[in-house]
């Protein structure tokens, strides 16, 4: 795990999605929600906290942790990982692994808390601070996330984690 990835060119540059170049706000991400799910009954389960990293720019602690979301039947809907650079208030990175559809795959997003609430920036493979998630799937590129039929679910998971994982709260409030 190397230093905090501080790129500002995280925009979505594909022709179809040029208008998203300012990121996708928490509010707007709701537009992608077209799959009915009983998400009121989703539960965030905190899992391991790993050995922290150190930010290459400010030497601040980078907290690394895992969690999952369970549905009302106590089945895992998604696994996720958080990377919280304490020296950079308001910013974190989240990786979400889904196995809906025919294969496991991981979307990596950077969350940014600002006056308009949270904005998520889908990270390309190159921008992802994680290289590989083993059996949880390969890191997807921006186009793959946007083209995924379960795209809305990735955003639902990051919203739920931002709302309910207590370990993230001090970073984004
Ligand atoms: Zn730093």
7 Cα: distance to centroid of ligand 1 (angstroms): 12
Angle CA(7)–CA(114)–CA(150) in degrees, nearest 5?
Answer: 70
Q: What would the pLDDT profile of 81-108 be if each residue is shown by its tens digit?
A: 999 999 999 999 999 999 988 899 999 9
134 Cα: distance to centroid of ligand 1 (angstroms): 27
Q: Cα separation of 45 and 40, whole Å?
A: 15
Q: Which residue has the higher pLDDT, 146 or 23?
A: 146
149 Cα: distance to centroid of ligand 1 (angstroms): 35
113 Cα: distance to centroid of ligand 1 (angstroms): 16
Name the one residue in this structure whose structure tokens are 């979301």.
69
Tokens at 131, concatenated: 């290289």
pLDDT score recorded for residue 15: 31
153 Cα: distance to centroid of ligand 1 (angstroms): 31
60 Cα: distance to centroid of ligand 1 (angstroms): 6
12 Cα: distance to centroid of ligand 1 (angstroms): 24
Q: How much of the chain, in percent, has pLDDT values that exceed 70? A: 79
Q: What would the pLDDT profile of 6-51 be if each residue is shown by its tens digit?
A: 333 333 333 333 334 556 665 555 545 544 457 888 999 999 999 9
Cβ-proximal residues to 49 (8 Å cutoff; 6+ apart), any chain = 63, 64, 65, 66, 167
pLDDT score recorded for residue 157: 96
**pTM (predicted TM-score):** 0.80
Q: Cα separation of 34 and 48, whole Å?
A: 32
2 Cα: distance to centroid of ligand 1 (angstroms): 11
4 Cα: distance to centroid of ligand 1 (angstroms): 6
Our measurement of the distance from residue 97's CA atom to the centroid of its chain's CA atoms, rounded to an integer in Å, reads 9
Sequence spans of domains, the chain: 15-172
Q: Cα separation of 80 and 68, whole Å?
A: 6
CA distances from residue 170 to 78, 79, 90, 132, 162 in whole angstroms, order as listed: 23, 21, 9, 27, 11
89 Cα: distance to centroid of ligand 1 (angstroms): 10
Do 83 and 66 contact (CB within 8 A), yes or no? no
């Amino acid at each position: 795990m190397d230093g905090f990835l501080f790129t500002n060119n995280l925009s979505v540059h594909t022709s179809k999605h040029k208008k998203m170049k300012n990121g996708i706000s928490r509010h707007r991400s709701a537009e992608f929600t077209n799959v009915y799910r009983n998400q009121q009954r989703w539960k965030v389960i905190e899992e391991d906290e790993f050995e922290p990293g150190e930010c290459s720019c400010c030497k601040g602690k980078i907290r690394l942790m895992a969690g999952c979301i369970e549905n009302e039947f106590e089945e895992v809907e998604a696994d996720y990982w958080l990377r919280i650079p304490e020296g950079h208030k308001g910013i974190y990175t989240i990786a979400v692994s889904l196995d809906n559809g025919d294969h496991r795959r991981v979307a990596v997003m950077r969350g940014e808390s600002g006056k308009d609430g949270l904005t998520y920036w889908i990270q390309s493979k190159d921008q992802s601070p994680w290289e590989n998630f083993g059996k949880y799937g390969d890191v997807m590129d921006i186009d793959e996330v946007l083209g995924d039929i379960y795209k809305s679910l990735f955003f639902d998971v990051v919203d739920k984690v931002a709302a309910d994982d207590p370990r993230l709260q001090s970073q984004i409030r």
